[in-house]
């Protein structure tokens, strides 16, 4: 009896699945040859295949459909959509959309239309046309498309968000806000429109309103379950918090974004989190954020990944630089500089990334030169290093020159000088180095102007530190140091300490305690007590990042037993880790000790 019941139940379920009138069942028989299908059948197949994430099969069927029916509007518009959404080949997408438009006018004539199907097709084509123009950065043309759309008396859910986006791109923020607000009130594509409004309000210096809008957008996206995209508004909210120097909430927002189903659809939450951790000198956290992102992307073998490679290299390069792996950092930055694609981040252009990478690469090259100065080399190595050193210095100068030209000429009179400008990829805590290479008569007036323009209290600490670096003003540096936040401003703190470290033993030791790698990158030498202080031990620490000082908190002791030398580094400070190295080759043991002290293991 039970068996019978189960069988009946199974048949019922099976029968339901096989319902030929089920509107949600889009499956098709793949055994029917493509040649035997009509254009409309192929079109339906393509829609199903796109949903099944088989884009190439879908593309082939759409092309077949067009070959069978060259006047098929839907096939053309769907191919346009395919090239826009799945491939990112906007020029080709535009061609298909334009062809669809011309076919539409051939078949239905000029508007007005008196049936809803024709009208909605026309409206849909306008949407595609405006999107293709927008993606080709033809903002004025995109706006004209929307104007034409409105002149026909049309209204669609996508319209407000698209229009406000285009207006934002054209720099008309106030009108963009008005359009987005009207869109929100009319309930047009609420998720996208709310997100757009949040961005616009943040650009209009209304961060608190922006955050409340993003919260509404997040709630809405989360209510959609698997179909929602909450990571986007969460990431945007994090960026606004970051601009407000509310790092705690920014971290929470990015972490939440990464936990969502669409968390690795784009690199931005992971990258923003990694850069936030960099400011805190939490290198392990930064590395993990990028590692997790890459592991997540690896789930999608067909994803091109081109859009995020430069960002990954930038973040990994900065982690390597501050963990003492300068060679690795240089390689990463060079790889990032090779990439010349557009990254999809609102407002972020190739130039933004290039300037950021150039700043970091120049910094790494200088760090390399400083490290070489405190590295034991053979005569031959030293001779070849003279040329290499010169090349690195010239390259660093040249990169900084290029970065400055980009920042001034392409990015509108150094608009990225505003601390934590969302679009920028500059490293703000260390930007003082780049600014100090500009003559004072040029940079100081600009800095003063920026200080007046930027009313955020904590931003002043950055500007003041830049000024202190430019003027080599120790008093101002002390003042900045006292205002830095614990945990969140660690990288900025090392910059301040570095300014003071030149003339103060105490600050040099403080810098070492904060980050031995940064200490070495700047070419400082750590005073150490030698035990025993003999000629051979002094010789052994020559050309290393140490110098002899009898009243230092740090000591290096040498012990020889048989043929083995053991060198120990001991600190009287509890925060500094003691190190030890041993072996038969004295120079190799010393190198190993230096590496263990000045390189941070973050695996």
User: How many Cβ atoms are within 10 Å of 394's Cβ, its own excluded?
Assistant: 11
Nearer to other proteins, 96 or 546 (CB): 96
List binders of other proteins among 114-153 (CB under 8 A): 136-138
Nearer to other proteins, 66 or 511 (CB): 66
Interface with other proteins, residue 327, by CB under 8 A: no
CB of 523 to other proteins, least distance (A): 27
Interface with other proteins, residue 55, by CB under 8 A: yes
What does the block give as tokens for 437? 């290479």
**Alpha-carbon distances, residue 186 vs 9, 160, 217, 257 (angstroms):** 46, 9, 15, 27
Parallel, antiparallel or unpaired: strands 546-548 and 526-531: parallel
How far is residue 258's CA from residue 295's CA, in Å, rounded to a whole number?
12
CB of 438 to other proteins, least distance (A): 6
Interface with other proteins, residue 334, by CB under 8 A: no
Cβ partners under 8 Å of residue 544, min gap 6: 374, 375, 376, 590, 594
How far is residue 425's CA from residue 314's CA, in Å, rounded to a whole number?
9
How far is residue 417's CA from residue 451's CA, in Å, rounded to a whole number?
10
Question: DSSP H helical segments within 83-206, as ranges?
Answer: 90-108, 116-135, 139-151, 159-169, 173-186, 190-203
First and final C-alpha spacing in the chain = 62
Interface with other proteins, residue 256, by CB under 8 A: no
CB of 48 to other proteins, least distance (A): 13
Query: Which region among 147-155, 274-282, 296-304, 423-431 touches other proteins (by CB under 8 A)?
Result: 296-304
Interface with other proteins, residue 4, by CB under 8 A: no
CB of 564 to other proteins, least distance (A): 29
Kindly determine how many residues on this chain lie close enough to bind other proteins according to the rule CB under 8 A: 56
Interface with other proteins, residue 95, by CB under 8 A: yes
Interface with other proteins, residue 402, by CB under 8 A: yes
Interface with other proteins, residue 296, by CB under 8 A: no
Question: DSSP H helical segments within 280-410, as ranges?
Answer: 283-297, 306-322, 326-338, 350-373, 379-405
DSSP conformation class of 72: -
Interface with other proteins, residue 328, by CB under 8 A: no
List binders of other proteins among 416-455 (CB under 8 A): 438-439, 441-443, 445-446, 448-449
Interface with other proteins, residue 462, by CB under 8 A: no
How far is residue 304's CA from residue 65's CA, in Å, rounded to a whole number?
27
Nearer to other proteins, 306 or 559 (CB): 306
State whether residue 548 is helix, strand or coil: strand
Interface with other proteins, residue 318, by CB under 8 A: no
Nearer to other proteins, 195 or 348 (CB): 348
Interface with other proteins, residue 309, by CB under 8 A: yes
What does the block give as tokens for 176? 């963009």
Interface with other proteins, residue 414, by CB under 8 A: yes
Out of 28, 41, 60, 284, which residue is the one contacting other proteins (CB under 8 A)? 60
Look at the alpha carbons of 406, 409, 411, 415 in this order and tell me if their dihedral is positive or negative: positive
Q: In what order do the strands lie in the sheet with 546-548?
A: 546-548, 526-531, 554-561, 564-571, 579-583
Out of 46, 96, 149, 333, which residue is the one contacting other proteins (CB under 8 A)? 96
CB of 402 to other proteins, least distance (A): 5
Interface with other proteins, residue 347, by CB under 8 A: no
| Residue 5 backbone phi and psi in degrees, to 5 | -60, -45
Interface with other proteins, residue 591, by CB under 8 A: no
Nearer to other proteins, 315 or 403 (CB): 403
Nearer to other proteins, 62 or 274 (CB): 62
Nearer to other proteins, 449 or 487 (CB): 449
Out of 54, 288, 382, 456, which residue is the one contacting other proteins (CB under 8 A)? 54
User: How many Cβ atoms are within 10 Å of 284's Cβ, its own excluded?
Assistant: 14
How far is residue 393's CA from residue 362's CA, in Å, rounded to a whole number?
8
Interface with other proteins, residue 413, by CB under 8 A: yes
How far is residue 250's CA from residue 409's CA, in Å, rounded to a whole number?
31
Interface with other proteins, residue 207, by CB under 8 A: no
Output b/e per residue, 258-270; b: 16+ Cβ within 10 A. Answer: bebebbbbbbbbb
CB of 304 to other proteins, least distance (A): 6
Locate tokens 């001779």: which residue?
383
How far is residue 254's CA from residue 272's CA, in Å, rounded to a whole number?
7
Interface with other proteins, residue 83, by CB under 8 A: yes
Residues that bind other proteins (CB under 8 A): 54-57, 59-60, 63, 66-67, 70, 76, 79, 83, 86-92, 94-96, 98-99, 136-138, 301-306, 309, 338, 340-341, 350, 401-402, 404-405, 408-409, 413-414, 438-439, 441-443, 445-446, 448-449
């Amino acid at each position: 009896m039970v068996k019978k019941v189960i069988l009946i139940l199974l048949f019922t379920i099976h029968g339901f699945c096989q319902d030929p009138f089920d509107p949600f069942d889009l499956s098709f028989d793949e055994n029917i040859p493509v040649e035997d299908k009509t254009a409309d059948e192929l079109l339906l197949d393509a829609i199903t295949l796109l949903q099944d994430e088989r884009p190439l099969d879908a593309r082939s069927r759409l092309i077949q459909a067009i070959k069978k029916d060259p006047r098929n509007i839907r096939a053309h518009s769907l191919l346009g959509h395919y090239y826009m959404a799945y491939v990112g080949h906007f020029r080709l997408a535009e061609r298909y959309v334009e062809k669809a438009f011309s076919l539409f006018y051939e078949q239905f004539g000029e508007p007005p239309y008196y049936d809803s199907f024709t009208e909605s097709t026309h409206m849909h084509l306008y949407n595609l046309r405006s999107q293709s123009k927008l993606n080709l950065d033809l903002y004025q043309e995109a706006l004209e498309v929307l104007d034409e759309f409105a002149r026909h008396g049309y209204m669609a859910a996508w319209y407000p968000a698209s229009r406000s986006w285009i207006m934002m791109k054209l720099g008309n923020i106030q009108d963009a806000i008005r359009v987005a607000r009207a869109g929100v009130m009319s309930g047009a594509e609420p998720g996208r429109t709310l997100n757009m409004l949040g961005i616009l309000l943040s650009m209009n210096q209304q961060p608190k309103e922006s955050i409340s809008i993003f919260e509404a957008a997040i709630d809405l996206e989360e209510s959609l379950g698997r179909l929602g995209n909450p990571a986007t508004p969460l990431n945007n909210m994090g960026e606004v918090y970051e601009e407000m120097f509310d790092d705690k909430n920014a971290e929470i927002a990015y972490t939440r974004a990464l936990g969502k189903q669409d968390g690795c659809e784009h690199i931005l939450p992971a990258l923003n989190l990694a850069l936030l951790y960099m400011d805190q000198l939490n290198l392990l956290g930064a590395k993990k954020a990028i590692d997790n992102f890459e592991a997540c992307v690896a789930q999608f073998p067909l994803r091109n990944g081109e859009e995020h490679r430069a960002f990954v290299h930038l973040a990994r390069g900065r982690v390597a630089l501050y963990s003492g792996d300068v060679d690795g950092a240089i390689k990463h930055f060079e790889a990032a500089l090779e990439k010349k694609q557009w990254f999809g981040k609102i407002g972020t252009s190739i130039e933004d990334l290039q300037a950021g990478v150039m700043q970091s690469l120049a910094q790494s090259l200088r760090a390399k030169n400083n490290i070489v100065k405190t590295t034991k080399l053979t005569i031959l190595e030293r001779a070849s290093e003279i040329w290499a050193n010169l090349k690195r210095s010239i390259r660093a100068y040249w990169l900084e020159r290029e970065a400055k030209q980009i920042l001034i000429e392409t990015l509108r009179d150094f608009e990225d000088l505003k601390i934590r400008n969302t679009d920028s990829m500059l490293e703000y805590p260390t930007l003082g180095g780049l600014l100090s290479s500009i003559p004072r008569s040029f940079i100081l007036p600009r800095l003063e102007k920026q200080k007046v323009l930027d009313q955020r209290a904590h931003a002043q600490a950055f500007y003041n530190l830049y000024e202190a670096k430019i003027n080599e003003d120790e008093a101002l540096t002390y003042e900045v140091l006292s205002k830095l936040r614990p945990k969140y401003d660690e990288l900025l703190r090392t910059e301040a300490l570095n300014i003071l470290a030149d003339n103060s033993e105490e600050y040099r030791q403080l810098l070492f305690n904060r980050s031995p790698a940064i200490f070495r990158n700047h070419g400082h030498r750590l005073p150490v007590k030698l035990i025993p202080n003999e000629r051979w031990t002094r010789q052994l620490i020559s050309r290393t990042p140490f110098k002899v000082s009898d009243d230092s908190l740090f000591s290096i002791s040498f012990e020889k037993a048989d043929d083995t030398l053991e060198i120990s580094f001991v600190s009287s400070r509890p925060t500094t880790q003691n190190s030890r190295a041993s072996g038969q080759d004295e120079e190799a043991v010393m190198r190993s000790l230096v590496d263990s002290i000045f390189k941070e293991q973050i695996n």
